[in-house]
Amino acid sequence: FGQRYQAAEGSAPAVLTNQHTTAEVVSRTRECIVCTDSKAASEFPASTVTKACKHAPSTCLECIAISIRSDLNNRLWNEIGCPECRERLQYEDVQKFADPATKERYQTLSFRSAVSEADNFVWCPSGCGHGQVHDGGLDQPIVVCMHCNVRSCFHHKVAWHENLTCEEYDSLQADPLNFRSRFDIENETAEMEAEARRIQEDRDRAFAQSLMAQEEQIVRETAKRERERAREEKERAREERQRQARESKERKAREERERKARQAREAAAKRKAEEDASNKIVKKTTKPCPGCGSPIEKNRGW
C-alpha cells in the first residue's frame, strides 16, 4: 500500500509512494526547489524524506544533506526536519540522507541522549566525551571520571565546586554577592584567631622587650656603680698613698729635726763637759788676779 500525496497547485497530478521510483522516472531532469538547479532525477530522493511527509520530494539529495547538517548545528539533535515540510526525521532517515560527518555526529548525539536516560548516568563536563553510571547518586555527589579523572558534581552536572557543598553552591548561585561559604566562615574565623594570636604575640614581645630593657638598664646601672666604686677605691688608694708618703716625709723631717736637736744637745753637753773640765784645770792651776780677778797661772807655789 503506497502513500498518496497532494500535488502542488499547477503541477501535473502524480501518485508517489515511499518505494523507489522506476527507471523511467529516474531518467528525467528536475529542478531543486532549494538551490533551483536542474539536476537528474537520480540526484533526488527515490522516496519521501520521511514516512510522515505528504508531498513529493522536490529537494535534491545535496540540499537535503546540507539541511540536515544545518539543523544538527543549530537545533537539538532530535529536531532535524524535512527541508520542505519540516516533518521530523527519524534515525534511519538521517542515516540515509546525511553526509558521513553529520551521520557520525548524529550517532554520537543520539547515543549520548539514549545513555543519558539511564538512572544515575552522568557525562563528564571536562569535554573528554566520557560518561558513566554513578552508583552513589546524590548521596555521594562527587563523580570522578574514569577516563580523565576530572571531578564533577552529580547534582549540578558541572565541575566539582571545590570547598562548597551542594547546598552552599545553590546559595552561591542564588545570591553571589552576599554568599559566604562554610569554608569562608572558617577562614574568617581562622584569620581572626590568627590576628588575635598576632596581637597577643606582639604584646608578649613588647612585654619581653620591656623586661629586657629593664634588665639591661639594671646591668648598665650596676656596671656604672661598679665603675664608680672602682674609681672611688682607686682614688682612696691614691689618697692613701699620698697620705702615707706625706706622713713618711713628715716623719723623716721630724726625725731629722730630732736628730739634729739631739746632736745639738750632745754637742752642747760635750762643750759644757769640756768647759767644766777646763774650768777645773784652770781653777786648779790658776788663781784669781788680786787686781782684776782674772785667773792667773800659779808659778812656783802660792
> In the chain, where are the structural domains located?
1-117, 118-179, 182-284
Burial 99-116 (b: 16+ CB within 10 A, else e): eeebbebbeeeeeeeeee
Residues 264, 270: Cα–Cα separation, whole Å? 10
Residue 216's SS3 state is helix
253 backbone φψ class: left, alpha, beta (φ>0; ψ -120 to 50): alpha
Residues 53, 45: Cα–Cα separation, whole Å? 13
Burial 205-238 (b: 16+ CB within 10 A, else e): eeeeeeeeeeeeeeeeeeeeeeeeeeeeeeeeee
Tens of pLDDT, residue by residue over 224-279, are 999 999 999 999 999 999 999 999 999 999 999 999 999 999 999 988 888 888 88
Tens of pLDDT, residue by residue over 80-130, are 999 999 999 999 999 999 999 999 999 988 888 877 777 788 888 988 878
Please give the pLDDT value at position 144: 93
The model carries a pTM of 0.40
- Bridge pairing between strands 131-133 and 142-144: unpaired
The answer to whether residues 143 and 134 touch, using CB atoms and an 8 Å cutoff, is yes
CATH superfamily of 1-117: Zinc/RING finger domain, C3HC4 (zinc finger) (3.30.40.10)
Residue 227's SS3 state is helix
Residue 151's SS3 state is strand
